[in-house]
Amino acid sequence: MMRDEKHRTQKASKAKCPVCGKPRDPEYRPFCSRRCADIDLGRWLSEAYAMPMPDSEAIGDPDEPER
């Protein structure tokens, strides 16, 4: 059990902040600082992150019943 905990700690210490690439801080996980966490939140709120969607024509009219 002790070995697993050590492995997780080593793995976590090698993990990088998704915003700036610096080592992660457990207090702001998965980020390195409050600043990077706020930058990421701002990106979500400004819709900078987006999932690709198929064209609306390919989906069809949601009010139209399926055949």
User: Is 21 one of the annotated binding-site residues?
Assistant: no
User: Is 32 one of the annotated binding-site residues?
Assistant: yes
**Residue type present at position 60:** G
Q: Is the pTM of this model over 0.85?
A: no
Contact 36, 48 (CB under 8 A): no
Backbone angles phi, psi at 23, to 5 degrees: -60, 145
b/e sequence 50-59, b meaning 16+ C-beta within 10 Å: eeeeeeeeee
Q: What CATH number does residue 42 fall under?
A: 3.30.50.10
User: Is 20 one of the annotated binding-site residues?
Assistant: yes
User: Is 41 one of the annotated binding-site residues?
Assistant: no
Residue 61 lies in a domain: no
Cβ neighbour number for residue 31 with a 10 Å cutoff: 22
Number of domains forming the structure of the chain: 1
Which structural domain range is residue 36 located in?
14-47
Residue 6 lies in a domain: no
Residue 21 lies in a domain: yes
pLDDT value of residue 61: 63
pLDDT value of residue 54: 77
Residue 55 lies in a domain: no
pLDDT in tens, the chain (67 residues): 556 665 555 555 589 999 999 999 999 999 999 999 999 999 999 999 888 877 766 566 667 666 5
